[in-house]
Amino acid sequence: MDGYENLANAIILQAVKDYRKALRRLNRNFQNKDAKRTVSEVERFFRSDWYKTLTSVDGELLINKLREESRI
């Protein structure tokens, strides 16, 4: 089970890193199409059934926390 959990955690952590980076790019240039696309894709992942299979962490809560963090 450890291997599965490690893989699941790595997938989610990469999504968080990608989301943070895209939010920073949007803060600098709100018209950045690549950043908008990444934000949209990662939010879709955080709301997906696959995400819910990987973790019990609420995706909406995670989105909100990361958005708050990017405003600081």
Predicted TM-score (pTM) of the model is 0.93
Mean local confidence (pLDDT), 5-15: 97
The Cβ of residue 63 has, within 10 Å, a number of other Cβ atoms equal to: 16
**Per-residue pLDDT tens digits for 15-66:** 999 999 999 999 999 999 999 999 999 999 999 999 999 999 999 999 999 9
Domains in the chain: boundaries:
2-71
Q: Is the pLDDT of residue 2 over 70?
A: yes
pLDDT at 52: 97
pLDDT at 71: 84
> Distance between CA 53 and CA 40 in Å, rounded?
20
Long-range residue pairs from 24-32, CB within 8 A, at least 24 positions apart, any chain: 24/70, 27/70
